[in-house]
Copies of this chain bind each other. A is one copy, B any other.
C-alpha cells in the first residue's frame, strides 16, 4: 500500500480480503487495530487462529461444529431433516425457534454456470442418511433463486421415490411488508404459491 510503512500496508492488504471491504475501509479498520491495546490485538488475532483450529464440520449433517458430531445432531432425535445451502442458514432457522428437527448442510447449490453439479455438493450424503435413518420428511430450505430452486427440484426428484415427504420453505411477501412495497419477485411468488383459506 503506497504511503504506508510496511506493517500497516500489510494489515490493510489482509483486511481488504474481507467481503465488501475496499482500501478506504481497510485503512479505517487498520487504524482501529493500531489503537487497540496489546491485549486487545492479541485477543483479536487469537480469535482468528482459534476459529480455524477449532471449527470442524459435523460428520452427520455438515454443520459447523467443535466436536465430531454437532450439538444438534447429538441432542435431537427427529424424523424431519431440513436441507440448507450453508451453515449460516442453520443459524438463521435456529433463531426462529420454530424448527426442532435436524439439518443437512449441502455446502453449495447446483450451478451449471460455475460448473457445480449434484456431485459437488452433499446430496449423496443426504441420500445415505435417508436410507439409514428413519426420516419421514425432508424440508428444503435453499434460497428462492435459480440455483436454490434447481437444487430443490433435483433433491425432490431423488427423495420422493424413497417414499419420503418433500416440502419446501414458503416464500412470499415478507411479514411486515406492505403490499405496495413488496418487491416483484416476492409478490410473484406470493401469487403463484397462494393457498386456500
Contact = CB atoms under 8 A, between A and B. Distances in A.
Interface footprint category on A: 35 or more
Contacts of A91: 3-4
Contacts of A53: 7
Contact of A34 (B38, B52, B71): B52
A103 interface: no
Contact of A51 (B7, B66, B86): B7
A195 interface: no
Contact of A45 (B17, B31, B49, B88): B49
Give this chain's copy count.
2
A5 B64 contact: yes
A6 B44 CA distance: 14
Interface in A51-75: 51-55, 64-66, 70-71
A2 to B, nearest CB: 7
Given A19-B29, A27-B88, A29-B19, A7 B55 contact: yes
A30 B7 contact: no
A34 B3 contact: no
Contacts of A51: 7-8, 10-11, 30, 33-34, 41
A52 B36 contact: yes
Interface string A110-126: 00000000000000000
A30 to B, nearest CB: 7
A28 B19 contact: yes
A47 B14 contact: yes
